[in-house]
Structure 1
Amino acid sequence: MKSTRGLFMLLVALLAGGAAVLFASRWMLAQASASGQVAVAAVEVEIGARLVPEMLRLVTWPAGSVPPGAFAELAPLDGRVVKTSVTRGEPILEGKLAPAGTKGGLSAVVADGKRAMTVRVNDVVGVAGFTLPGNYVDIMVNTQNEGSKRGDQDQTISKIVLERILVLAIAQESSRDETKPRVVNAVTLEVTPEQAENLDLARSVGTLSLVLRNQVDPRPVATDGATKSTLLKEEAARPAAPAPKPVVVAKKRAAPRVVAVAAPVAEVPKSTNCVEVIRGTVKSDACF
């Protein structure tokens, strides 16, 4: 009885295992039939590089997960230029490529309507080598503000003149995969034609400095620039001038007016012995 029960359980296990293997094989066949080929990078590809077949290879990719813009063949990618760095095993997408016929180099990286312009820097101006391709910087100039109404000793001004400028390359390298700071003597920036004019004027009238900014901070700044007065806060530190004392003006006294007062007429005491005198029609009293 016990052996019969054991054989029955073994038969059930074998049937369950066979069913699992059958379903797994069918699922794998279905996945294989639903997958395709995708072109990926076989090596690290730097920005502005021209693709050749040795840099690429085809790998199996699930059909439902193929990224938009991927290539299923290597032939269309021969001679195309990448606009951004591509790591090994990363799919080559149309959005990462320059238009067909574009020559390799930094010119393939410059966006439409933009220009590439190089400025000379040093270890201080270049933010101690932390300015790397792909970073955004502000351009600050230190010059003489000769057209202002300030005094002769307060004409020097430092002012941010360009904001959020993309760094295309440092020296002769444009790789954006490095994070180690490098001190170089030149930085290539991506600017509009108007910004290129302002940048050229700024470096001719004063000293330039690069101000490294956050990659995801697009907010513009609005500053009036820093001068000696604003730096030292002379206006705030200067003691307030005492209030002027009121000026008392002495009023001239008017000359006293002399008013003539008529002297009172002394009354003639009436005598007790008076005689009324009539002369024609005129009457008069005569007292004595």
Structure 2
Amino acid sequence: MRLIFGLVLALGIALAGFAVHMAQGYISQAQAERDYLRQAQAQAPVLVDLVVAKRPLQYGERFSMSDLTTIRVEAGKVPEASFSQIVAPMTPDAPVKPVFFEGETRPRAALRSYEPFEPLLATKITEPGVDAGIMANLSPNMRAFTINVDLATGVSGFLRPGDRVDVYWSGRSGDRDVAKLLETNLKVIAIDQSADADRSEATMIARTVTTEVSPEQVAALTLAQSAGKLTLSLVGAADTMVVGAIEIDRDSLLGIVAPQEAVKVEAPRVCTIKTRKGTEMVETEIPCTN
């Protein structure tokens, strides 16, 4: 009996030791996992809210708060002019401007097409209550000026709203045929009657191109268009060159040299004095005094 009791006691002590060992291992593993999670959380990137379209939006389509949602993205990797709030109170010192202020019931319109969950950009939507169009694309204090173009002068239909162009003038200046660079890096805001940068008529030849200019440029381009022909030149997206004054006439283009006028060479002036010697008249050369 004592032997059985001793065996049971020994077995109980062994099981208790094994349980303590297992518990210590479990605790150590839990502590290691906890430390790993804390380290991973410390190294994890900071996430911020980003407002995106909840459904597809076409150019000019109106949208409201119900058409938007937010997703979490890594801080520092959000597009410029994006939004972090759909709606917020109107406070003058608010660090972030929302898409809509509280109490705003007017919809906004898309200035380009959007796919679902694509970030909304302040530069690609109108203000509340404003429909998409040329007026919505104009920068403050700027004007819209329309240039008549054709296949040769309109970059063969490859222009899109948002592109940049240089404007050249060609015509008669005095008695010369001249081509001259008038304006550089003008923003195109509409092709014909469309301000949609995603228009599908990829090869349609435009009849008019509307650019964003200052009031002074409006006057200059109006005079130039009435006095000659305007031609557009597409500026590359990565272009950083500063273009100076450019003017060329037909003669310099073709290498024609104007004939030089004949130079009159005057004969040297000779001054003389005549004296009489007897019956003969003698002429003697003397220095000229005037």
Q: TM-score, normalised by structure 2?
A: 0.62
Change in Cα spacing, 1:46 to 1:115, as seen in structure 2 (3 Å) is: farther
- 1:127-276 alignment, distance < 5 Å: 127-145=155-173, 148=174, 150=175, 154=176, 156-176=177-197, 182-185=203-206, 186-215=208-237, 216-217=239-240, 219-223=242-246, 225-235=247-257, 247=267, 254-258=274-278
What per-residue deviation string (whole Å, max 9, x for no partner) do you get for residues 44-86 of structure 1? 6566653334642222346897787421449827612456666
Q: Give 1:208 deviation, angstroms.
A: 1.7
CA–CA distance in structure 2, aligned partners of residues 143 and 160 of structure 1: 12
For the pair 1:50 / 2:74, whether they are aligned, the reply is: no
CA–CA distance in structure 2, aligned partners of residues 253 and 36 of structure 1: 109
What per-residue deviation string (whole Å, max 9, x for no partner) do you get for residues 181-238 of structure 1? 5342222211122222322222222222101224443624213x22222212222xx6
What per-residue deviation string (whole Å, max 9, x for no partner) do you get for residues 7-31 of structure 1? 9998887555433544566789999
CA–CA distance in structure 1, aligned partners of residues 51 and 149 of structure 2: 40
Change in Cα spacing, 1:128 to 1:104, as seen in structure 2 (3 Å) is: closer
Compare 14-23 and 121-130 and name the one that shifted more: 14-23
SS of 1:196's equivalent?
Answer: helix
Determine the structure 1 residue equivalent to 2:132: 104
Change in Cα spacing, 1:169 to 1:46, as seen in structure 2 (3 Å) is: farther
Determine the structure 2 residue equivalent to 1:264: none
Determine the structure 1 residue equivalent to 2:84: 70
Determine the structure 2 residue equivalent to 1:18: 30
SS of 1:39's equivalent?
Answer: strand
Change in Cα spacing, 1:96 to 1:108, as seen in structure 2 (3 Å) is: same
Aligned partner letter, 1:52 = S
CA–CA distance in structure 2, aligned partners of residues 90 and 173 of structure 1: 23
Aligned residues, how many? 242
Change in Cα spacing, 1:245 to 1:120, as seen in structure 2 (3 Å) is: closer
For the pair 1:41 / 2:41, whether they are aligned, the reply is: no
Change in Cα spacing, 1:9 to 1:197, as seen in structure 2 (3 Å) is: farther
CA–CA distance in structure 2, aligned partners of residues 254 and 9 of structure 1: 148
Unaligned runs of 5+ in 2: 1-18, 88-97, 280-290
**Does the aligned pair in 1 maintain the 2:167–2:232 contact within 8 Å?**
yes
Q: Point out the structure with max Rg over C-alpha.
A: 1
Change in Cα spacing, 1:246 to 1:93, as seen in structure 2 (3 Å) is: closer
CA–CA distance in structure 2, aligned partners of residues 252 and 75 of structure 1: 102
CA–CA distance in structure 2, aligned partners of residues 213 and 111 of structure 1: 20
Q: Give 1:157 deviation, angstroms.
A: 1.8
Percent pairwise identity: 25
Q: Give 1:137 deviation, angstroms.
A: 1.0
Unaligned runs of 5+ in 1: 1-6, 260-288
Q: CA RMSD in A?
A: 4.5
**Does the aligned pair in 2 maintain the 1:126–1:183 contact within 8 Å?**
no
Q: Give 1:164 deviation, angstroms.
A: 1.8
Q: Give 1:89 deviation, angstroms.
A: 3.1
